[in-house]
Amino acid sequence: MRWIVAFLACIGIAQAQVIQHQISDDSWARVPLQFPFPYYGRVFTDSYMFSNGVIGFGSVQQGWCCSGYDLTRESGYHLNYAIMPLQTDLINYGSGRFVTEGTTQYQRYLWENISEYGRPNNLNTFGVEIRPSGFIGMYYDKVNIDSHVVTIGMTGDTSLGEYTQHYNGFGLSRTNFSYITDATGNMCLVNPLSSPTCPGYQEAYTTQQCSINPLYSSVCPGYEQAYFSNQCSLNPLYDRTCTGYAQAYFNQQCTASALYDRTCPGYAEAYALAHVVTPPTVTVSAPTVQVSTTGTVSVETPVVSDPVVNEVVTRQPTQTIVTNTANNTTTTSVISPINQTTQAEQKTEKKTDAKQAVSVRKTEIKNEVTNTAPTITEVYQAPPPILIVDMLFKQMVKKPIQDNNRSYYALIMGSQKTHEEMINEQYRKRD
């Protein structure tokens, strides 16, 4: 503020560095610099003062008409490398002035009593000072805009996101405005991140990212601890020192085997299954009964699935019972080993009626055996002995027949006389 007053006071003094410019509506005046000015990674020795409250560097692209730009939404070459102390639609209706003052130590730009376009009485006085160090100062005496959008800010290469926007909105007055007195044009000195072209940009970017997340790079301070913590959070089994390692290890082992520890879920069930012995199963099929053409009946003991039981069973001989209906006699023979059937044959008289009787008797015996032969398909647990109900089959399996007992009584059709003769004949042979 003080330099504006001093600047206005010295305008009347004839000094070479003070110049008043005639700038028409939406136009500009060229203002050479007496020092190199660093700005957003570049250096400029020329400038332009625009009527619409803008200082541009480099070539002129536009007149900055006719409303303030929102730098957060707009970009482009026409907006690059500019200082905007009050960018809006301004015009000098005759009572105002555009003045510059420059030396090797500073360059000043002054808009004095410049009106808002269409509002002659809305007068605005403000200025900008830049220095070889890159310093930028924006100073305001009065601001009165009520019909246009206003932008206060600075731009570098907008395609790279290089800009600073202090204000953007509809209208602006001194009552709601804050003075900007410490801005700098050499943004690289203040903040190397202002442009990728700034010296030290990469180092500053790495520092910034490390402060956000130490895992950004292995060169970040605290990277090792951050990496360790991250791995532990992903999997507590990463290291024994991870928080929660013991519980995670216990859960892992219990999942692999419920018998790992008594406190594992499902331990009791797993222990019971591991210590229960399942007894073997034995399948017994029905015996095979064969009747020859001569009337011989053979019963073959089946081999069961259990090897122990099979060994006992197969040691028993097979009995073959032969009945000769021609002479009404019965012969019993024992054949070993099991599964080999020897047929005891008995010659019959070559008479037609005898052959017919043998055929009839063979059919009757076959039917009797078929009707009485058990069909045993039984699965049971060892070691209980095999239970066979049929008396005849039971005798053949257990032991050889030692005597003509009641089993043969049924085979000879219940003849007591024949049964007694058979017994007496046996004892006579023993004597």
Q: What tens digit of pLDDT does each residue of 277-327 get?
A: 566 665 656 566 666 666 565 656 555 555 655 665 555 454 544 455 555
Give the whole-angstrom CA distance, residue 281 versus residue 381: 5
Question: Which of 131, 165, 194 represents a domain boundary (last residue)?
Answer: 194
Instruction: Assign 341 a pLDDT band (cuts: 50, 70, 90).
Output: very low
Beta-sheet strands, E only, within 212-353:
281-284, 288-291, 296-300, 318-324, 329-335
- Say if 428 falls within a structural domain: no
Question: Which of 48-57, 406-415, 418-427 is predicted least confidently?
Answer: 406-415
**Domain for residue 253, yes or no?**
yes
Count of the separate structural domains present in the chain: 3
Q: Does 422 reside within a domain?
A: no
pLDDT (average), residues 217-221: 92
**pLDDT score for 155:** 92
pLDDT band at residue 342 using 50, 70 and 90 as cut-offs? very low
Identify the pLDDT of residue 150.
95
Phi then psi for residue 220, to 5 deg, are -65, 140
Handedness of CA 350, 355, 361, 367 (dihedral sign): positive
Q: Between 384 and 26, where is the model more confident?
A: 26
Residue with tokens 């060994």: 311
User: Would you say 54 and 87 are in contact if contact means Cβ atoms under 8 Å apart?
Assistant: yes
| Weakest-pLDDT range from 41-55, 65-79, 207-221, 385-399 | 385-399
Q: How confident is the model at residue 343 (pLDDT cuts 50, 70, 90)?
A: very low
Whether residue 154 is found in the same domain as residue 131 = yes
The verdict on residue 230 lying in a domain is: yes
User: Is position 431 within any domain?
Assistant: no
| Helix runs in 159-285, H state only | 187-190, 201-212, 223-234, 245-256, 267-275
Q: Which of 257, 275, 293 is the last residue of a domain?
A: 275
Residue 8 sits in the same domain as residue 157: yes
Question: What pLDDT does 58 receive?
Answer: 76
Residues 50 and 164 in one domain: yes
278's CB contacts (< 8 A; 6+ apart) are none
Out of 228, 256, 275, a domain closes at 275
Is 227 found in the same domain as 123? no
Residue 7 has pLDDT above 80, yes or no: no
The pLDDT tens digits of the residues spanning 44-70 come to 999 999 999 999 997 777 789 889 999
Tens digit of pLDDT for each residue in 16-48?
578 999 999 999 999 999 999 999 889 999 999
Query: Per residue in 114-152, pLDDT tens?
Result: 999 999 999 999 999 999 988 898 888 899 999 999 999
Q: Tell me: the pLDDT tens digits for 251-285? A: 999 999 988 898 999 988 888 888 875 666 656 56
Taking residues 318-341, report their average pLDDT.
Answer: 50
34 and 157 assigned to the same domain: yes
Q: Is 406 exposed, middle or buried (0-12, 13-18, 19+ CB in 10 A)?
A: exposed
122: Cα within 13 Å, side-chain hemisphere? 18
Do 44 and 183 fall into the same domain? Answer: yes
User: Is there a single domain that holds both residue 218 and residue 234?
Assistant: yes
> How many angstroms separate the Cα of 53 from the Cα of each of 43, 143, 144, 224, 414?
22, 12, 13, 53, 141
Q: Given this model, what pLDDT does residue 168 score?
A: 92
- Tell me: do 186 and 244 sit in the same domain: no
pLDDT tens profile 363-377: 776 666 556 555 544
User: Looking at residue 60, what is its pLDDT?
Assistant: 79
Residue 47 and residue 130 share a domain: yes
User: Do 59 and 174 belong to one domain?
Assistant: yes
Domain span including residue 73: 2-194
With H, G, I as helix, E, B as strand and everything else as coil, classify residue 221: coil
Decide if 130 is inside a domain.
yes
Whether residue 388 is predicted with pLDDT greater than 50 in this model: the reply is no
Cα of first residue to Cα of last residue in the chain, in angstroms, is 159
Give pLDDT, residue 363: 75
- pLDDT(172) > 70: yes
Q: How confident is the prediction for the chain on average, in pLDDT?
A: 76
User: Do both 9 and 59 map to the same domain?
Assistant: yes
In this structure, is residue 324 part of a structural domain? yes
Look up the pTM and report it.
0.45
- Specify if 199 maps to a domain: no
Q: Are strands 281-284 and 288-291 parallel, antiparallel or unpaired?
A: unpaired
pLDDT at 86: 94
Q: Are residues 68 and 163 in the same domain?
A: yes
